[in-house]
Structure 1
Amino acid sequence: MEIKEIQEEIIDEFSMFDDWMQRYEYMIDLGKSLPLINEEFKTDDNIIKGCQSKVWVHAELEDNKLVFTADSDAIITKGIIAILIRAFSNQKPQDILDADTDFIDEIGLKEHLSPTRANGLVSMIKQLKLYAVAYQTQIED
């Protein structure tokens, strides 16, 4: 499935909820289903800078597609990274680089986060794209 289709799916799912409490609960549920990072990758190198809570993200290239795993020590943050990983994992690095992140605004996520969490969200997106840049150069070599 392409990134755009996954993003549309996420938008549809979030639109089913009437209020933000329900959406937060849904995000927490998504966090529980997150493909968890192996303990060996819970290192300082894999911590996303700019997040208030600890968020670890690891990327591996499988069949020219990036596969992300992650974890966080905060339940809402875990839900946020789960949404991003769902959209960008198992995709080609170039597709990740080309993808927009408007779906985040469309589900209203940014406006319902505290300023520090919103900054963390931006840092998470930036880190996933940095992984894509790093692995894209490996594919081209």
Structure 2
Amino acid sequence: MTIKEKQDEIVAEFAFLEDWEQKYEYIIDLGKELKPLSAERKNESNLIKGCQSQVWIDADYADDKLVFKADSDGILPKGIASLLVSIYSGHSTDEIINSDFDFISQIGLQEFLSPSRANGLMAMTKQIKFYAVAYQLKK
């Protein structure tokens, strides 16, 4: 499944949720499904700057694809990180670099978040792109 197809699937799932309370619960449930990062991966270099909570995003590169892992000490940021990991993990650096984050506005996530959480979300998306650029340069 392409990144765009995954994004479209998320947009469709959010369309079925009637209000923000349901959307909030859905995001929290996604976070509960996220496997925790190991203690050694919860380090300063994987810590996302600009998040209200502590959020770590880590990436491994194998078979020309990036595999993301994430964790957070906050339940909502963990759900958001899980959402991003589910979309971007398992794709090539080119796919990630050439993708957009329009689905975030399509599901209205930024409007739902406080300004500091919205800044954290943007920091997470930037980190995902950063990993893609960094690993592409290593090739």
TM over 0.5, shorter chain: yes
CA distance in 2, matches of 1:136, 1:38: 25
Task: Report how many residues are paired.
Answer: 139
In the alignment, structure 1 segments of 5+ residues that lack a partner are none
Superposed CA RMSD in Å reads 0.8
Pair 1:135-2:129 in alignment: no
Cα deviation for residue 73 of structure 1 reads 0.4
> What is the identity percentage for the equivalent residue pairs of Structure 1 and Structure 2?
54
Cα deviation for residue 36 of structure 1 reads 2.8
Question: 14-23 or 35-44: which moved more?
Answer: 35-44
What is the TM-score when the length of structure 1 is the normalising length?
A: 0.96
Q: 1:40 is matched with which residue?
A: 40
What aligned pairs does 1:116-131 form with structure 2 within 5 A after superposition?
A: 116-131=116-131
In the alignment, structure 2 segments of 5+ residues that lack a partner are none
* Secondary structure at 1:59 match in 2: strand
Please list the CA deviations of residues 63-93 of structure 1 after superposition, one character each: whole Å capped at 9, or x if unmatched: 0100000100000000111111111110001
Q: Which amino acid aligns with 1:12?
A: A
Q: 2:12 is matched with which residue?
A: 12
* Secondary structure at 1:50 match in 2: coil
CA distance in 1, matches of 2:35, 2:130: 20
What is the TM-score when the length of structure 2 is the normalising length?
A: 0.97
Pair 1:115-2:112 in alignment: no
Cα deviation for residue 33 of structure 1 reads 1.2
Pair 1:67-2:67 in alignment: yes
